[in-house]
Amino acid sequence: VRPDGLCDFVNQRWSEYTGFGRSEVLGDGWQAAIHPEDRSSFLESATAIRRSEVGGETEARLRRRDGEYRWFAFRFAPIANKRGRTVGWCGIASEADERTAPPKGIADGRLRRFVDGLPTQVIFLTPSGELEYVNRQVRDYYGKSLDELKAWASSGAIHPDDLPGVHKGLSRLLGEGAAYDAHQRMLRADGSYRWVRAQMVPCLDAQGNVTRYCSIQTDVQELKQAEDLLAGEVQLLEMVARGLPLLDVLDALSHLVEELATGCFCSTLLLDADGTHFQVGGGPSLPDAYNRVLHGLRIDPCYGPCSLAVNTKALIITVDAINDPRWRGSSWPPLIESYGFASCWSMPILSGDGRVLGVFAVYRREPVGPTDFEQQLIERLTKIAGIAIERAQADESLRTSDRNLRRAHAQLAEGQRLSKTGSFTSDIQLDVHSWSDEFYRIFEIDPATSPSVEVVRDRVHPDDLDLFDRVIQQGLDGGDPDFAFRLLTPNAGVKHVHGVARVIEHVDGRPIFMGTVQDVTEAKLAEAALKDIAAELRRANDDLTRVHHEITVAQALGLTGSFTWDVLADEHHWSEGTHRITEVDPSVTITAEDVRQAVHPEDRTIVDAAMDMARAGHPFEYSARINTPSGAIKFIHVVGHPVEDAEGRLVFVGALKDVTASKTAEAALKASETALKDAHRDLAHAQRQSRIGSFRTDVRADERAWSDELYRIFGFEPGSEISSEKIHARIHPDDQPWFEPAFGRAISEGITFNETFRIVVPDGTVKHLHVIAEVVGREEGRPIYVGAIQDVTEAKLAEEALLASEAGLRRANQFLTLAQSISKTASFRWDVAANDKQWSGEIWTILERDRETSATIDLNDEIVHPEDRDVAARMEQAMIGGRDFDGEYRVVLSSGAIKHLHIVARRLDAERLVYVGAVQDVTELRLGEQALSRARAELAHVARVTTLSALTASIAHEVSQPLSGILNNANTCLRMLAADPPNVSGAMATARRSVRDTTRATEVILRLRALFARKAPAFEMLDLNDVAREVMALSTGELQRGRVSLRTELANALPPVHGDRVQLQQVILNLLLNAADAMAEIEERPRTILVKTRLDDDMAVLSVRDAGVGIEPQVREKLFDAFYSTKPSGMGVGLSISRSIIESHEGRLWAAPNDGPGATFSFSIPSRSTAGFNRSDSPSDVVRASPKRRSRKT
Amino acid sequence: MQKRSLVSVIDDDESVRESLPDLLRSFGFEVEPFSSAEEFLASDAPGRTGCLILDVAMPGMSGPELQLELIRRKQRLPIVFVTAHAENDVAPRVMERGAIAFLFKPFGENAILDAVNAALGKS
């Protein structure tokens, strides 16, 4: 062919095949043999080849002489002259085998250039599946020539894991013509495997035969990674949302990273509870031995990057551990090197509020840092790990609450057992009941017995059966019985039980009761014992009163007085009579010397002798004259008996008698007879006054002269004839045996007859008479007696009364000791100035001490409980300051036991600092109170948890809302980051919202955790508004469900209150839910709750106003009773517990109807200005250990 | 007739009202959020809305009440109900009245996309 494309020559083979003669083909004639359809493209190709000047190949169908067209390849090679210029072309046409012939078009340089120019990888395969042609992009991408690429199946060009899939896809393509579309990892020129999408389709000829396969490949590495990351994140978030175990989520997270970033090995470390050690959360691809080293590892920023990440809260990248100066000296770099790792990147896992929860770490075998993608991957998945860990922690706290709830139930049962309280529910009309374990125990009924009224009735004491039947009848009538009756049980005999039952609901018109029964036997017995003691004390007191009365009467009637004399202390107490006789001013303090000085100087020796007797402890008796302040001289007769007082000191109790009149009589008798006569009238009067009669007797002649008074004393008619027999008959039978002989002896010996004897006068009255008779002379040798007889009945009675009062005192003392022992009370007397303390015996029992070895007792030493020493010190201060004291503190005994003592001290007199007081052991009372307060707290917790369970749905709502936001935000964030270009600012905004929503969910869970927790009340200063807001936030969902709208009017600048946050929240929650319930049936007006706070006179008041059904006047009083409920499902303890909570805050809880529809429940508690201070203007210091301190002790 | 392509989101919860529209916008939808049924009715959105994502429980007019109101006004918009209340007995009722879907929060991306696409396909 010439350069212009015209033919110069064809060989014979051409002519034979085509049937055209040589002459026919010259010029452009040869082209007639080319298939008309192929002709134009053939000529174009040929022209292009000629222009290329290097030769080339094209193809076309060539006509055989019989007219059939077959595919031929036309190869053109330039013919050059000697100067190298192309002068013509040599063309060779060779028939292509149907299957092996070069496919159409490939040989065409234009197509090749076109394909090479495409910005994608294009590969042609022969119909047999061999690589036929690859474009330049393919060669560049793989860095290999076509021939090298032909060995793809064995050269490692395809990732070994993907190779089987490629073979399978190819065979389906070749065999069934199924289109090939697969993702496979291919080895790029840089030596890394990358994800490539390969699509292959067959190319068909006109007959539908496959001429070749055309493949297009796209590098989808980035896209694939982004998709996988997105799918992985969504999957992880779903795992979190579904609440799968944390370790599963963390393992899945590790696998995701390892899959997305080839060559990475992941580890998740969690912080232990105190934040000082690691725990392995996941490291599925790390060596077990290495995980074992990490587990329990102490956090030490010098040890390795994970610890440093915890401390700095920042990503720590270690590219080359063994050469990193930060870990020089640490054993960590050699350790990871021994496992074949070179680099480690540690990312702290943070909670929504910025706490470190753990560390996510990636290890690689090569000393490299993270690529941008890897760093992004770590940062994003670490956030998810944070969400997962927080969720797991929240779940764990909920599980803990659940366990606590179950434990609270168990403890309630234990509480019943300890308080001997059984509970029951009863459908009395159907005789269907359920009884608590303790109920069975109290009634001593076999727990297997089926409950019925008859079973209980069998146990009732026969005498109380009527009572029992009335209670049952009351129950059948639907009343609310309170009852107390006795049981007669097989083991314990008689028991006293006390109970209450309340209708809690009606089923088909039948009342259903719930109630409690308490075994109060011990209380009853104690009550009876106390009654006995009280009666004894009353009797003792009556005795004392009577004795005192008798003495007073006696003293007022006669000229007698009584006194007590504490010899050593020289203390004198004189009765009114004594003061009257001695004419000593009652306000004067008496001493023994005063007594002595009052006595007539001539008689002082008599008094001194008597006092010596007294000091020696002997009874004494004397008669002496005294000079009274008015100048009169009186004869007194004094008797004193020693008694030992309660403190064992020497005290005399005595009586004195004004005997002036009898002495005067004696003196008168000694005077002359005329003077006697003169004096006779006055004497008679005096005798009458002093009940002294006088006589003159000639015993032998049986003649006597009696004064009128003497007749009166003996009950004879004045002036009547008196004989010895008559007198004798009057003498008391008991005194007759001695009276006559003694009188006879006096007469025969002529001595003074001085005796006291009794007579019985005709009306039966016994009189005590004191007779003094002396011989005054003789008439005709017969002795003449003169004498005086005084009616000393009253004095005698007084003396007896004195003795009786002594016995009474002694008996009273015994009772007192008994009463002290029973009531565990010791008394004391404290003389502050003398620092002298006297204790009654019970103190040694209370303090568990041996009286012999510890004679002195001082409560202000080290036995006072350290926490109460201030109370004890205050007591001492009060008493030194002269104030009364009433307080309580604890002491620690040598056995280690702690006792609560209640101490009352009263100042005895205004002058001296002397106190008397009592110390009572109130330990059992306090322990009982503590047990009660524990049981109450327990019940409050159960009630709280019950209330919260009503909020379950609402709580789920409160958590689902933020979770929904988190999920949406995460999805949006991912999409914004994956966009081209990435919308970073948008992504950050969504991430920030995720953080906010996570915080919100966390807050809900924290509040719940606080409410579910069972803690002893902890009083602190609180903002009541804050407390209310937290509760309202929790109940929003529940209120919304009830279509209730909540309004608030919270006072500004409300002073803080002193209280327990959880308990107050329980009360507010209860009021809110009650308000919502009250409006559940209201349709005709908006359901609105108004929560208001205000300050009212130093009280912080919170009120909850509803627009519900209101309160009926008749139930208003019952509202706060336990077990009263208007709700079919209510337990009826909410308001009762609320009230007791508020009362423990020194506040008040009340309900009031509104002017319009509905009711308002309010409570008030003292705000800071009044709470927690004792009044200091009280005259007596009243000090008690605060309830808080007491409960902390338990 | 002009094609209604607006997606309206009515939810009283702020985090949903912020996050859901952003998510849907990232898929190329035109979205407008409303904090209450009343606000939605007062706007010109009902005439342009091709899909209404509606919270069930809200203060004031509830989701189901809005559905009834729209039926009364003869503005039958395709509605996708969402709720955070786990036990919900309103689902059968609103579905009977022609709601497209009823989703419980939190819902996945695909669930809401399918629902929105189904709604827009109908409008």
What is the pLDDT at residue A536?
55
Least confident among A624-638, A924-938, A961-975: A924-938
- CB contact B65 to A (< 8 Å): no
pLDDT, average across residues A421-432:
83
A993 Cβ under 8 Å from any chain B Cβ: yes
Chain-chain contact of A972 with B22 (C-beta, under 8 angstroms): yes
Give the pLDDT of residue A795: 65
Binary contact (B109, A957; C-beta < 8 A): no
Location of structure tokens 């940062």: A379
What does pTM read for this prediction?
0.34
Residues of chain B positioned with their CB less than 8 A from the CB of A1036: none
Query: Least CA distance to A975: which residue of chain B?
Result: B26
B2 touching A (Cβ < 8 Å): no
For residue A45, give the 3-state DSSP assignment.
Answer: helix
Model confidence at A409: pLDDT above 70: no
* Closest CB from B18, B23, B59 relative to A1045: B59
Q: Supply the pLDDT for residue A1024.
A: 92
Confidence band, pLDDT 50/70/90 cuts, at residue A360: very high
Task: Collect all residues of chain A within an 8 Å Cβ-Cβ radius of residue B16.
Answer: 961, 964-965, 968
CB-CB contact of A499 with A484 (8 Å): yes
Chain A and chain B share a number of CB contacts under 8 A equal to: 85
| pLDDT at res. A343 | 93
**Nearest CB to B109; choose among A971, A990, A1040:** A971
Residue A1014: per-residue pLDDT: 64
Tell which A residues from 236 to 265 touch B, by Cβ distance under 8 Å. 238, 241
Task: Write the DSSP symbol of residue A703.
Answer: E
pLDDT attached to residue A645:
59
pLDDT band at A555 (very low <50, low <70, confident <90, very high): very low
Chain B interface, mutation test: which of A233, A955, A964, most B Cβ atoms within 10 Å?
A964
Q: Mean pLDDT of all residues in chain A?
A: 78
Q: Which range is most confident: A34-43, A744-753, A1097-1106?
A: A1097-1106
Q: What is the mean pLDDT of residues A351-368?
A: 89
pLDDT of residue A1109: 84
User: Cα–Cα distance between A881 and A921 in angstroms, integer?
Assistant: 25
First to last CA, chain B: 11
Q: Which residue of B has its CA nearest to A230?
A: B109
Q: Which two tokens stand for residue A282?
A: 């996941």
Ramachandran quadrant class, B13 (left: phi over 0; alpha: psi -120 to 50; beta: rest): beta
Cβ–Cβ gap A960/B86 under 8 Å: yes
* Residue A882 structure tokens: 């002269």
d(CA A830, CA A835): 7
Residue closest to A797 by CA, chosen among A588, A1110, A550, A1161: A550
Q: Do B106 and A967 count as a contact with CB atoms less than 8 A apart?
A: yes
Classify burial at A190, counting beta carbons within 10 Å of its beta carbon; exposed 0-12, middle 13-18, buried 19 or more: exposed
Amino acid residing at B103:
L
**Alpha-carbon torsion A945, A948, A950, A956, what sign?**
negative
Q: Distances from the Cα of A494 to the Cαs of A446, A484, A499, in angstroms? A: 18, 13, 16
Inform me whether the C-beta atom of residue B84 falls under 8 Å from chain A C-beta atoms: yes
Distance CA A353, CA A999 (A): 6
**Given this model, what pLDDT does residue B33 score?**
95
Q: According to the model, what pLDDT value does residue A268 have?
A: 92
B22 at interface of A, judged by CB pairs closer than 8 A: yes
User: CA torsion, points B113, B116, B122, B123, in degrees to nearest 10?
Assistant: -140
How many Å is the Cα radius of gyration of chain A?
Answer: 60
Q: How far apart are CA A598 and CA A582, in angstroms?
A: 8
Q: Report how far residue A253's alpha carbon sits from residue A360's, in angstroms, rounded to the nearest whole number.
A: 10
Q: Name the residue facing B16 among A238, A964, A976 (closest C-beta).
A: A964
Q: Which residue has the tokens 């009584």?
A: A562
Q: Please tell me the predicted confidence (pLDDT) of residue B81.
A: 93
Band (A101; pLDDT cuts 50, 70, 90): very low
Predicted pLDDT at A1093 = 94
**Token code pair at residue A681:** 């009238």
Q: Which residues pair with A658 in a beta bridge?
A: A636
Q: Is the dihedral of CA A594, A598, A599, A604 positive or negative?
A: positive
Chain B residues with CB under 8 Å of A238 CB are 108
Q: Write down the pLDDT at residue A1161.
A: 92
Please name which of A282, A224, A280 lies closest in space to residue A252, comparing C-alpha atoms: A282
Q: What is the average pLDDT across A147-151?
A: 84
User: Where are the alpha helices (H) located in A419-520, listed in sequence order?
Assistant: 437-443, 453-459, 465-476
Mutate to test the interface with A, among B14, B19, B85 (most CBs of A within 10 A): B19
Q: In angstroms, how far is the first alpha carbon of chain A from the final one?
A: 118
Which chain B residues are closer than 8 Å to A962 by Cβ?
A: 15
pLDDT at A1176 over 50: no
Of A965, A1035, A957, A970, the C-alpha closest to A999 is: A965
Q: Of the ranges A491-495, A659-663, A740-744, which one carries the lowest mean pLDDT score?
A: A659-663
d(CA A665, CA A679): 10
Residues of B in contact with A956 (CB under 8 A): 84-86
Residue in A968, A983, A1047 to test binding to B, most B beta-carbons within 10 Å: A968
pLDDT at B70 (0 to 100) = 92
What's the rounded Cα separation, in Å, for the pair A930 and A908?
Answer: 35
Residue from A1148, A1151, A1121, A1150 nearest A1137 by CA: A1121
Q: Residue A995: closest CA among chain B residues belongs to which residue?
A: B15
How does residue A809 score in pLDDT terms, banded at 50, 70 and 90? low
The amino acid at A488 = L
Q: DSSP letters along A213-238, please?
A: EEEEEEE-HHHHHHHHHHHHHHHHHH
Q: Closest Cα to residue A197, out of A233, A234, A169?
A: A169
Question: What dihedral angle (degrees, nearest 10) is formed by the CA atoms of A760, A762, A764, A765?
Answer: -60
Instruction: With cut-offs at 50, 70 and 90, classify the pLDDT of residue B117.
Output: very high
Ranges of H-type helices in chain B = 14-26, 37-42, 45-48, 63-72, 91-96, 109-122
What is the least distance, in Å, from the CA of B105 to any CA of chain A? 5
pLDDT of A481 reads 79
Question: What tens digit of pLDDT does each residue of A890-913 get?
Answer: 888 878 888 888 887 777 767 778
3-state secondary structure string, B81-102? EEECCCCCCCHHHHHHCCCCEE
Of A441-450, A744-753, A1113-1122, A1180-1189, give the range with the top mean pLDDT.
A441-450
Q: Which residue of A has its CA nearest to B18?
A: A965
Question: Is A686 a residue whose pLDDT tops 70?
Answer: no
Mean local confidence (pLDDT), A471-493? 81
Element at B60 (helix H, strand E) = none
Categorize the per-residue pLDDT at A97 as very low, low, confident or very high, splitting at 50, 70 and 90: low
The reply to whether ipTM tops 0.85 is no
The closest of A142, A294, A122 to A214, measured between CA atoms, is: A122
As to burial, measured by CB atoms within 10 angstroms (0-12 exposed, 13-18 middle, 19+ buried), residue A682 is exposed
Q: How close B1 comes to chain A (CA, Å)? A: 32
Rounded alpha-carbon distances, angstroms, from residue A1144 to A235, A591, A1017, A1065, A1173:
51, 57, 10, 14, 15
Q: pLDDT confidence of A648, banded at 50, 70, 90? A: low
Unique residue bearing structure tokens 């979770």: A963
The confidence score (pLDDT) of residue A418 equals 62
